[in-house]
């Protein structure tokens, strides 16, 4: 009987020790970073702990004698371990997105889905807007996320108050025709998007989310978007 229980007891003891170590590292790193630590896990490399905080990954040892910032590369496979982990840690459930607060554009059958968070004064967003017009059989949800200036807030409100939001958005982002309508309608969607963006640690625009929940920051090439749309189906 004891022989049967011993492996279980050893596993439970190991798990408790690991949990205790991770809890200690979490407390230590929150003190050092001055930010809430979302998760602490063993990296599997050189005894380092992976610490996910404030939307970023750093590495440290159990005593916090050093904090390593930057990508961790697997020396055997040469894969970017940090990049792969960030894809998982920053992913969301697409169904959790408040799509009623986004500008919806449907092209073709609309079966593929993509959500973007964009600032109307973001140059990279304008580049992305032109690329997205080339997509077919897709539904694009654009969340107005003014983070660059007060003018971004004003333009976001004017676009949201437009009778045809998609047209107003494309007129400005693609054709350079500035919105000139009212901005005094119910624009709580814009304010809530700003709060939601902070919750998701979105610090730059554009930021895209695909159907599988993967987050992709920045304006990536159209071919890469097509690839992601196919993979995320």
Contact (Cβ atoms closer than 8 angstroms) between residue 154 and residue 127: no
pLDDT attached to residue 6: 36
One digit per residue, the tens of pLDDT, for the chain of length 233 reads: 434 433 433 333 333 344 458 889 999 999 998 888 988 999 999 999 999 998 889 999 988 999 999 999 999 999 999 988 888 888 889 999 999 999 999 999 999 999 999 999 999 999 999 999 999 999 999 999 999 999 999 999 999 999 999 999 999 999 999 998 888 899 999 999 999 999 998 989 999 999 999 999 988 999 999 999 988 76
Which residues form the domain of 160?
94-231
Same-domain pairing of 108 and 85: no
Strand partners, 107: 138
In the listed set 89, 115, 145, which residue is the last one of a domain according to the structure?
89
Cα 215 to Cα 207: distance, rounded to the nearest angstrom = 7
Strand-strand pairing, 138-144 and 112-118 = parallel
Strand partners, 138: 107, 112
Same-domain pairing of 127 and 182: yes
Neighbours of 22 (CB within 10 A): 18
92-96, long-range: CB < 8 A, 24+ apart: 92/200, 92/209, 92/213, 92/215, 93/213, 94/209, 94/210, 94/211, 94/212, 94/213
Same-domain pairing of 135 and 194: yes
pTM of the model: 0.77
Same-domain pairing of 140 and 179: yes
Same-domain pairing of 124 and 186: yes
List the CATH number of the domain containing 122: 3.40.30.10
Cα 122 to Cα 105: distance, rounded to the nearest angstrom = 20
Same-domain pairing of 45 and 116: no
């Amino acid at each position: 009987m004891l022989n049967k229980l011993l492996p279980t007891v050893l596993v439970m003891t190991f798990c408790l020790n690991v949990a205790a170590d991770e809890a200690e590292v979490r407390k230590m790193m929150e003190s050092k970073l001055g930010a809430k630590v979302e998760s602490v896990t063993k990296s599997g490399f050189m005894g380092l702990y992976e610490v996910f905080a404030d939307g970023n990954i750093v590495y440290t040892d159990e005593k916090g004698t050093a904090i390593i910032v930057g990508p961790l590369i697997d020396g055997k496979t040469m894969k970017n371990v940090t990049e792969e982990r960030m894809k998982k840690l920053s992913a969301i459930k697409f169904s959790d997105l408040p799509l009623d607060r986004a500008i919806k554009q449907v092209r073709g059958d609309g079966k593929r889905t993509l959500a973007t968070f964009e600032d109307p004064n973001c140059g990279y967003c304008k580049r992305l807007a032109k690329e997205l017009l080339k997509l077919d059989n897709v539904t694009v949800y654009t969340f107005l996320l003014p983070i660059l200036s007060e003018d971004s807030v004003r333009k976001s409100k004017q676009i949201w108050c437009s009778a045809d939001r998609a047209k107003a958005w494309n007129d400005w982002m693609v054709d350079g025709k500035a919105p000139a309508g009212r901005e005094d309608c119910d624009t709580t969607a814009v304010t809530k998007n700003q709060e939601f963006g902070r919750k998701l640690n979105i610090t730059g625009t554009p930021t895209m989310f695909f159907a599988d929940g993967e987050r992709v920051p920045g304006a990536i090439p159209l071919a890469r978007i097509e690839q992601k749309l196919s993979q995320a189906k």
